[in-house]
Amino acid sequence: MKKTIVYLLTIMCAYSCTPLEAPYTFGMLVDNRDGNRYKTVIIGDQLWTVDNMAYLPSVSSYETVSSSDDHYYVYEYYGTDVEEAKATDNYKTYGVLYNWSAAKTACPEGWHLPSDAEWNQLENYLIANKHNYDGTTSGNKLAISVAKANNWTSSSNVGTPGNIDYPEYRNKSGFSALPGGLIYSIERGSTLGGLFSSVGDNGYWWSSTRTYKYTFYFICIRTLSYDSESFSSSSIGSDFGLSVRCIKD
C-alpha cells in the first residue's frame, strides 16, 4: 500500500512538489471537473488533500437547508451566483461548506470522503509518532500539529491552534487545517433556515460514517477549536454545512 502511494505521489509531483519534514511530502491533485488544484500530503499509509474542497457546481441560499438534497454554501455568501461566490475571500481561503449529501460527491474520481475509521487511522498514526504537542504517545493532543498557523483566534491555552507556543509542533503533520466554520439549521418562523458560525474559531470536517443514537442517525465528524488541544471526534445532523477533506482510494 505504501509503495503504491509513493508511486502515485511521484507522478503528481512531476511539476510541483515541495518537501516538508520526512516522511511527509507534498504533491498536487488537479480536479478535472473544474480545474481546481489541491496540495496533497502523505501521512503514514494515507494520502490526504491538504486544502478544503472547493468544488462548487451550484451555490445554495443560506435560507435553504436539507438533509437529503445536495447543498453547497460559501461562508457568509448570501446569494446564489457561483462565480460571485468563488470571488469571495472566504471561498478562496476556506473552500465550500457541504451538507452531508453533497459532501459524498465532493471528492474527484479516485478519491473519497474519509470514513470514521480512516480519520481514526490518521489520529492514531500521529499520536504514535509523537505529534502530541508535549511529545507523549497517548491521549489526543494533536490540535496544534494538524492546524495551519494562520487565521485562528488567539488563545492562552497551551497546545492549541490559537496559541503561538510550541512552534516546532505547528502544523508538524502537514495537514494544514483551517477554521472554516459551518452553517447550521435554525427556525425562521415556520421554516428552517441556515446560520453561518465559527469561522476563525472552529473547523469541522465530514466523514462518510453514520452513527445511531438517541433514536436518530447522526454523521461522525472531526473538529478543531482555537482553544482546545485535541483533534476531536463528534457527530452532527446531515443538514449542517461543513468542510470536506478527501483521501486517496
Res 27: pLDDT? 93
Strand order of the β-sheet with 37-43 is 26-30, 37-43, 46-49, 247-248, 111-112
Output the pLDDT for position 7: 34
Q: Which residues contact 188 (CB under 8 A, 6 or more apart)?
A: 63
Assess whether pLDDT exceeds 60 at residue 125.
yes
Contacts of residue 247, defined as CB under 8 A and 6 or more positions apart, other chains included, come to: 46, 47, 48, 49, 111, 112, 113, 114, 118
Predicted local distance difference test score (pLDDT) of residue 62 = 81
Strand pairing partners for 68? none
Please report the pLDDT score of residue 192 as a whole number. 54
Q: Where are the domains of the chain?
A: 2-49, 53-249
pLDDT tens per residue across span 148-192: 999 999 999 999 999 989 999 999 999 999 999 999 876 544 445
Q: What is the pTM of this model?
A: 0.88
Residue 10, pLDDT above cutoff 70: no
> Residue 1 pLDDT > 80, yes or no?
no
Q: CA 5, 36, 49: angle at the middle one, nearest 5?
A: 35
pLDDT, one tens digit per residue, over 207-226 is 999 998 777 889 999 999 99
Cis peptide before 19 (omega within 30 of 0): no
Q: What is the pLDDT of residue 26?
A: 83
Residue 24 has pLDDT above 70, yes or no: no
C-alpha grid cell, residue 79: 446569494
Which position has the higher pLDDT, 63 or 36?
36
Query: What's the rounded mean pLDDT across residues 228-244?
Result: 96
**How much is the average pLDDT of 110-125?**
98
